[in-house]
Amino acid sequence: MKETILIVEDEMPLVTLLRYNLEREGFAALDAQDGEEALNIAREQKPDLVLLDWMLPLMSGIEVCRQLRRNPQTREIPIVMLTARGEEGDKLRGLDSGADDYVTKPFSPSELIARIRAVLRRAKPIPADEMLRYDNLTMDLASHRVRRDGREVHLGPTEFRLLRYLMLHPGRVFSREQLLDAVWGRDVYV
Ligand code: CA
């Protein structure tokens, strides 16, 4: 099945160019000319990735990005932002808008496609049995990655094992000895 990219851009020649390049690379393309339309299409069509221009009429790309992240229906959709050279890119870097990557205009189509593929690869869903979830925390047991609100949390190996144990038994209370046995091992003195 083809992966679908939602292009959010108000300059029609650029939409045509992006669509042409995406379709040539085997993607399906949808497009929206402003933020409101983009949010509607994202909710209804669930694209695999949103390619989002910073400069949009009415609602900025950053605001669209925040709203996509706020809505549980669209929260997981990866976002690649398009920015103009210079200032916007720097601002975006500092803003932590929730975009997965950003590409500066003017860009080469092949570079853009490569970035899109990389983001899609990272976003591939992980089998349920390799993923623990609790509230806003997710723990990927295969890659040992922990995320809180989508943001990576760095843990040492012991911290990781401790959190995994607690996440495997949500709502349960353990004594110090039980945790030491389960996480550190029986023969360890702490
Ligand atoms: Ca634009």
Domain boundaries, the chain: 4-123, 131-184
Distance 15 CA to ligand 1 centre (A): 10
Distance 11 CA to ligand 1 centre (A): 5
Ligand 1 is an ion; residues with CB less than 5 A from it: 10, 53, 55
Tell me the pLDDT tens digit for each residue of 11-47.
999 999 999 999 999 999 999 999 999 999 999 999 9
Distance 120 CA to ligand 1 centre (A): 23
Mean pLDDT is highest, among 89-98, 142-151, 177-186, for 142-151
Token reading at 144 = 């040992």
* Per-residue model confidence (pLDDT) at position 36: 96
Tell me what the mean pLDDT of segment 156-172 comes to.
89
* Per-residue model confidence (pLDDT) at position 147: 93
Distance 56 CA to ligand 1 centre (A): 5
The DSSP bridge pattern shows strands 79-84 and 49-53 to be parallel
Distance 143 CA to ligand 1 centre (A): 37
Percentage above 90 pLDDT, the chain: 48
Percentage above 70 pLDDT, the chain: 90
HEC string of the chain equals CCCEEEEECCCHHHHHHHHHHHHHCCCEEEEECCHHHHHHHHHHHCCCEEEEECCCCCCCHHHHHHHHHHCCCCCCCCEEEEEECCHHHHHHHHHCCCCCEEEEECCCHHHHHHHHHHHHHHHCCCCHHHEEEECCEEEECCCCEEEECCEEECCCHHHHHHHHHHHHCCCCCCCHHHHHHHHHCCCCCC
Distance 96 CA to ligand 1 centre (A): 20
Class of domain 131-184: mainly alpha
Residue 93 has pLDDT above 70, yes or no: no
Find out if CATH 3.40.50.2300 is the number for domain 4-123. Answer: yes
Distance 78 CA to ligand 1 centre (A): 19
* Per-residue model confidence (pLDDT) at position 4: 97
- Which range has the worst mean pLDDT, 66-70, 79-83, 85-89, 182-186? 85-89
* Per-residue model confidence (pLDDT) at position 35: 95
* Per-residue model confidence (pLDDT) at position 123: 80
Distance 53 CA to ligand 1 centre (A): 6
Distance 84 CA to ligand 1 centre (A): 9
* Per-residue model confidence (pLDDT) at position 126: 57
